[in-house]
Amino acid sequence: MPDLLIELFSEEIPARMQARAADDLKKLVTNGLVEAGLTYASAAAFSTPRRLTLTVDGMLDASPSLTEERKGPRADAPEKAIEGFLRGAGLTRDQLEERETPKGAILFAMIKKPGRPASEIVAEVLEATIRNFPWPKSMRWGNGTLRWVRPLHSILCLLSAQDGAQVVPLNVDGIEAGATTRGHRFLAPDTLTVNSFDDYTAKLKRAFVVLDPAERRDAIWHDATNMAFANGLEVVEDAGLLAEVAGLVEWPVVLMGKIGDAFLDLPPEVLQTSMREHQKFFSVRNPKTGRIERFITVANRTTADDGATILAGNEKVLSARLSDAKFFWENDLRIATSDAGMQVWVDRLSNVTFHNKLGTQAELISRMEALAGELAPMVGADADEAREAARFAKADLSSEMVYEFPELQGLMGSYYAKAADKSDAIAAAAKEHYAPLGPSDDVPTEPVSIAVALAEKIDKLTGFWAIDEKPTGSKDPFALRRAALGVIRILVENDLSVNLIAGVLNRQVLATLIILKGAEFRNEGEKLLSPELSKLLGSEKMSEISYMIVDANASATETSLLEKMDSIESNLLAFLHDRLKVYLKDQGVRHDIIDACIAMEGNDDLTLLVKRAKALSETLKTDDGENLIQGFKRANNILTQAEEADGVEYSFGADIKFAETDKERALFHALDTAEAQIKPAMEAQDFSAAMSAMASLRGPIDAFFNAVQVNSDNGTVRRNRLNLLSRIRTICSSVADLTKIDG
Amino acid sequence: MSDPVQRPRSFQEIILALQSYWARQGCAILQPYDMEVGAGTFHPATTLRSLGTTPWAAAYVQPSRRPTDGRYGENPNRLQHYYQYQVLIKPSPPNLQELYLGSLQAIGIDMALHDIRFVEDDWESPTLGAWGLGWEVWCDGMEVSQFTYFQQVGGHDCHPVSGELTYGLERLAMYVLGVDHVMEMPFNDPDAPIPLSYGDIFKQTEEEYARWNFDVANTEVLLDHFVEAENECNAILSQDAQDPKTGKRIVMAHPAYDQCIKASHIFNLLDARGVISVTERQAYIGRVRTLAKACADAFVQTRAGGWLEGAA
């Protein structure tokens, strides 16, 4: 039972790719071995910046011999058929076996497949693995055509057993497999010859290479936390950075350095971003002050001066980086606190295009500002404050810090707004209005932030819808799906009831269309409309101005503009509903349930829609609810068929006096009771109450169908029963469109 | 690598050390390209010569301009005009990493005391339609070089692959010389009769250019220049390969490429003036890339680009 050791030694592998590559190496090689019949006891893969290593224990030394039985033609088949079978099996006639079967004498071939030695299989599997390795990005080098993540220098491929080790003969594009590797690039660069995995790891460790990334990670974290603790400090946890740093070193040495006093007053996010992104430093916090005061860096080696030179170098680099950040911070603060203040930045955004059809960033901001003001009362915010917050929410895009560190957008705006003495709500909105950025990101909860966050997303959606740049398939370059999900989550998770069509979209879509028209005029040099347009968004005379613009442009009529608005709105609402389905599906609500609720009035209030859908979903999980659907459908089918056949609509006049049975009379009473409960519950938007009242109809409806034949010979009785079914339909349909429910 | 290393004392000594090191490794030591470029890669000795199969080994200093990086000479290590040292070897030799480390030793970096790291940094130049894989090389946490294996240039796959090294000379020199502010760095020998610091030479020009780049450069004129360069590049490339005067086959890849370089620099200036928006940016970059690709297409039709007389 030999063990297999493979090492692929290359120039430095990107840290973020190492773990995945080690897994892939293990998977590809072991799958290949097993497919070829070489089973094994266990396998493990490791990575360092310069090597991928796989060890496979207890492998078969050869694949087992196999015998395949192949059924051929009848023994008395024509000569040609038998010849063909022999060719396929690679045998002669006398090697075939003749067996009596119920269908007569049949020829059988027993084809022997001899086992193959492990080294042959390993060589094949490893070569295929190297040539087809799934690197996220790979390259060629020199004159060659082989692809690897970086130039591949050597292949170690060894089968070792008790009687010694044997190199697997393999040559991949001129790289000959051997039994050697190298140690640390600087500390032990010489060649090492190894004879087993244990020998390999031991020799590597003596050559300053810790093979196992988990061991390196643990060592780094252990030393870093100890070093910080000894100084009364704590390391800011960062698992991603830890994994990355462990992938940058073969021989980790932890060093702690100082951050210059001049930089300690920078916002902690700036310090952390700068240190993490650029230098791969861990932040070290003083628990007493809460400030980031030191950093930890991980070197790849020991030195005679115990890392003093390395640390001094790192401190110098950091201080250069931070003096840049400080320069930006101070310049930005100077502007934020000047008389003109952050408005300077907003003005500067009029030179920055948001989208060539949708105008500049400044125009975007003025649209957001107006919309935030409109939304404010609907979400409980002060309109003036919401407008001001929207005006300055993106001002930091002009700041130097955000130019340098784009990932700090919003956050810097919030610092600068505070420095400029804006209210806390305005400062918070600068930071929060981009949220939620992903499905798990928190949604803003402060009213002003909500107004601005909604304004940002709704304007984006209406804008791109107005210029017909909707997402298609996998293409969504403007992240409109994310914007739509943001709108949904902000409304639903804050329990905000907003009628999007009447309250928001009508106005916003029309305004956007008018602005687009206005832009056309501007592009043609007719600038006279600009002053009106700039005032337009907040103006109550919007429709008047729209007529004015429409009149001025013969190609657009009032009707065409309104028609376009309608089609954009309904399309956008359908898009929001689609995203809502995805959102609710993740919460376990079926799509047909959502469809049943979307079909109802008021479906542009997403919060209400979700409540309705969730209540219906809960109801349908109950026995009553599920059976009610069957009853409803039965009633509906009978009724629809009768209406089609009779050419009339049975919608009125079921009278209890024509009821013939108790069950029938009981249904009358049950419907009266349910109706009396459902109506007020629906008015109070208490969907659970309405739906449980509806579900309580299940018993009476089932009993009715069991006892009563709707199509009675008596015409009056039949009409009365159909009208009774119609009541079921009406009452149930006031809750949701149950015809949309599956099953 | 066994040469005794003397610690350099000035900026120019470091440049000279690199020049003589790479000359010893067999590179042709070229002179800077005489146009404004954003990086040493733009030198035709890199961009164009990385195309085709003809072997190549060159090294040179290239003054580089990044208008947006101007800080009026106040920032300790940011300049709108700075120097890059560039090495390009085709095909990339198997020991290129060792050769590179040798160059660090040649300028006085003691490998036993410093922490040298190869950190993933894939290089892409959207304006040149070029990309490659490689690293930024860190010395004690400071990026001292860019190390790239070119995979594609001007839209053409590189066969063979060139290895490219780019050193940011000021930063590297400041580190080696132990200087904290670039303007204080000795340019020539500090004991020379007239010692000159980097600031003596460049402080004033940094101020002048920063003001011009950020606030004064006439954007309308620049926009016109951009279009003119673009038109000229296309006009040059639209000429028949056959020169009617000499009767020779002369594909004018280099003059056309000059116009591409010019358009690229004008774009950088416009960017520094803040008049190019995010969406427009892409469009401008795309226009320069179109030129770069056309120039690359033209270069492979020349002898240096591997075109053979009589071949199809």
Asked if residue B37 lies in contact with residue B65, where contact means CB atoms within 8 angstroms, the answer is yes
Higher pLDDT, A336 or A104: A336
Which of A461-470, A499-508, A639-648 bottoms out in mean pLDDT, i.e. has the lowest?
A499-508
pLDDT band at residue A527 under the 50/70/90 scheme: very low
pLDDT at B2: 43
Q: Are residues A277 and A423 in the same domain?
A: no
User: Which sign does the torsion angle of CA A427, A429, A434, A437 carry?
Assistant: positive
Alpha carbon of B272: minimum distance to chain A alpha carbons (Å): 12
Higher pLDDT, A732 or A280: A280
Cite the DSSP H helix spans in B25-181.
44-47, 96-106, 169-177
Is the Cβ pair A355, B141 closer than 8 Å?
Answer: no
Q: Could you give the CA distance from residue A666 to residue A656 in angstroms, rounded to a whole number?
A: 10
A609 part of a folded domain: no
Least CB–CB distance from A11: residue in B91, B97, B279: B97
Is the Cβ pair B151, A140 closer than 8 Å?
Answer: yes
Q: Could you give the CA distance from residue A365 to residue A371 in angstroms, rounded to a whole number?
A: 10
A617 part of a folded domain: no
A381 part of a folded domain: yes
Q: Which residue of B has its CA nearest to A249?
A: B117
**A residues 43-72 lying closer than 8 A (beta carbon) to B:** 49
Q: Which of A206, A231, A262 is the last residue of a domain?
A: A206
Q: Could you give the CA distance from residue B216 to residue A345 in angstroms, rounded to a whole number?
A: 19
Q: Are residues A46 and A72 in the same domain?
A: no
The two structure tokens encoding residue B21: 């090191």
A613 part of a folded domain: no
Please give the tally of structural domains in chain A: 5
Q: Are residues A270 and A402 in the same domain?
A: no
Peptide bond into B160 cis (omega under 30): yes
Least CB–CB distance from B142: residue in A138, A313, A351: A313
What is the number of other CB atoms lying within 10 angstroms of the CB of residue A240? 9
Most confident of A347-361, A443-457, A494-508, A617-631: A443-457
A608 part of a folded domain: no
DSSP-assigned states of every residue in A570-597: HHHHHHHHHHHHHHHHTTT--HHHHHHH
Asked if residue A174 lies in contact with residue A145, where contact means CB atoms within 8 angstroms, the answer is no
**A residues 310-369 lying closer than 8 A (beta carbon) to B:** 310-314, 316-318, 320, 323-324, 327, 348, 351-356, 360-361
Which one, of B179, B19, B153, B25, lies nearest residue B89 by Cα? B25
In tens, the pLDDT along A223-233 reads 999 999 999 99
Report chain B residues whose CB lies below 8 A from the CB of A324: 75, 78
Query: Which helix (H) or strand (E) segment is A251 a member of?
Result: none
pLDDT at A557: 58
Q: Are residues A379 and A292 in the same domain?
A: no
Low-confidence ranges of chain B (pLDDT < 70): 1-6, 278-279, 310-312
For residue A715, the domain's CATH number is: 1.10.730.10
Mean pLDDT of A314-329: 89
Least CB–CB distance from A352: residue in B151, B175, B277: B277
Least CB–CB distance from B133: residue in A139, A249, A356: A139
pLDDT band at residue A472 under the 50/70/90 scheme: confident
Question: Beta strand A42-48 with A152-161: parallel, antiparallel or unpaired?
Answer: unpaired
Alpha carbon of B127: minimum distance to chain A alpha carbons (Å): 20
User: What radius of gyration do chain A's Cα atoms show?
Assistant: 37
Least CB–CB distance from A310: residue in B115, B134, B180: B115
Q: Could you give the CA distance from residue B272 to residue B285 in angstroms, rounded to a whole number?
A: 14
Alpha carbon of A281: minimum distance to chain B alpha carbons (Å): 9
Q: The whole model's pTM is what? A: 0.76
Q: Could you give the CA distance from residue A188 to residue A196 in angstroms, rounded to a whole number?
A: 20
In tens, the pLDDT along A484-497 reads 999 999 999 999 98
In tens, the pLDDT along A240-271 reads 999 999 999 999 999 999 999 999 989 999 99
User: Which sign does the torsion angle of CA A617, A618, A621, A622 carry?
Assistant: negative
Is the Cβ pair B132, A356 closer than 8 Å?
Answer: no
Most confident of A322-326, A542-546, A589-593, B256-260: B256-260
In tens, the pLDDT along A35-66 reads 999 999 999 999 999 999 999 999 999 999 98
For residue A547, pLDDT beyond 60: no
Is the Cβ pair A317, B141 closer than 8 Å?
Answer: yes
Alpha carbon of B132: minimum distance to chain A alpha carbons (Å): 8
- The angle formed by the CA atoms of residues A170, A174 and A176, to the nearest 5 degrees, is 35
Q: Which residue of B has its CA nearest to A149?
A: B133
pLDDT at A215: 97
Alpha carbon of A190: minimum distance to chain B alpha carbons (Å): 13
pLDDT band at residue A466 under the 50/70/90 scheme: confident
In tens, the pLDDT along B209-244 reads 999 998 898 988 999 999 999 999 999 999 999 999
pLDDT at A254: 97
Q: Are residues A433 and A418 in the same domain?
A: yes
Q: At what angle do helices A715-733 and A662-683 cross, to 10 degrees?
A: 30
Report chain B residues whose CB lies below 8 A from the CB of A311: 140
Q: Are residues A323 and A351 in the same domain?
A: no
Q: Could you give the CA distance from residue A569 to residue A503 in angstroms, rounded to a whole number?
A: 12
**Counting one residue from A and one from B, how many pairs have CB atoms under 8 Å apart?**
122
Q: Which residues of B touch A (CB under 8 A)?
A: 71, 74-78, 91-94, 97, 111-120, 122, 132-135, 139-142, 149, 151, 158-161, 163, 175, 180, 274-275, 277-280
Q: Which of A206, A237, A265 is the last residue of a domain?
A: A206
pLDDT at B4: 47
Higher pLDDT, A534 or A440: A440
Q: Which residue of A has its CA nearest to B133?
A: A139
For residue A541, pLDDT beyond 70: no
Higher pLDDT, B49 or A531: B49
Q: Are residues A356 and A296 in the same domain?
A: no
Q: Could you give the CA distance from residue A373 to residue A383 in angstroms, rounded to a whole number?
A: 5
Which one, of A98, A133, A127, lies nearest residue A22 by Cα? A133
pLDDT at A628: 84
pLDDT at B1: 42
Q: Which of A113, A131, A152 is the last residue of a domain?
A: A113
A604 part of a folded domain: no
Mean pLDDT of A115-121: 94
pLDDT at B3: 47
The two structure tokens encoding residue A379: 């979400």
Which of A137-141, A440-444, A637-641, B5-9 bottoms out in mean pLDDT, i.e. has the lowest?
B5-9
Q: Are residues A323 and A365 in the same domain?
A: no
- Note down the domain range covering A142: 3-62+117-206
Strand partners for A297 = A255
Is the Cβ pair B161, A360 closer than 8 Å?
Answer: no
Q: What is the overall mean pLDDT for chain A? A: 88
Q: Could you give the CA distance from residue A125 to residue A116 in angstroms, rounded to a whole number?
A: 13
Alpha carbon of B248: minimum distance to chain A alpha carbons (Å): 32
A714 part of a folded domain: yes
A615 part of a folded domain: no
Q: How many residues in chain B?
A: 312
pLDDT at A545: 54
Burial label for B63, CB within 10 Å (0-12, 13-18, 19+), is: middle
Q: Could you give the CA distance from residue A396 to residue A343 in angstroms, rounded to a whole number?
A: 10
Going through A419-535 in order, the beta strands assigned E by DSSP cover: none
Question: Beta strand A175-178 with A152-161: parallel, antiparallel or unpaired?
Answer: parallel
For residue A193, pLDDT beyond 70: yes
Asked if residue A463 lies in contact with residue A509, where contact means CB atoms within 8 angstroms, the answer is no
Q: Are residues A547 and A446 in the same domain?
A: yes
pLDDT band at residue A525 under the 50/70/90 scheme: very low
Q: Could you give the CA distance from residue B257 to residue B288 in angstroms, rounded to a whole number?
A: 10
**Residue A404 sits at the chain B interface (C-beta within 8 Å):** no
Q: Are residues A456 and A587 in the same domain?
A: yes
Q: Could you give the CA distance from residue A342 to residue A333 in angstroms, rounded to a whole number?
A: 10
Mutate to test the interface with A, among B133, B151, B176 (most CBs of A within 10 A): B133
Query: Which helix (H) or strand (E) segment is A9 a member of?
Result: strand A3-10
Question: How far does chain A reach from its first CA to its final CA, in angstroms?
Answer: 59
pLDDT band at residue A475 under the 50/70/90 scheme: confident
Is the Cβ pair B161, A140 closer than 8 Å?
Answer: yes
Q: Could you give the CA distance from residue A734 to residue A680 in angstroms, rounded to a whole number?
A: 12
Collapsed DSSP state (helix, strand, coil) of residue A709: coil
Q: Are residues A308 and A419 in the same domain?
A: no
Asked if residue A468 lies in contact with residue A428, where contact means CB atoms within 8 angstroms, the answer is no
Mean pLDDT of A711-723: 86
Mutate to test the interface with A, among B54, B92, B104, B120 (most CBs of A within 10 A): B120
Asked if residue B169 lies in contact with residue B11, where contact means CB atoms within 8 angstroms, the answer is yes
Strand partners for A593 = none
Q: Could you give the CA distance from residue A214 to residue A211 in angstroms, rounded to a whole number?
A: 9
Higher pLDDT, A608 or B280: A608
Q: What is the ipTM of this complex?
A: 0.93
Which one, of B262, B43, B53, lies nearest residue B157 by Cα? B53
Q: Are residues A684 and A709 in the same domain?
A: yes
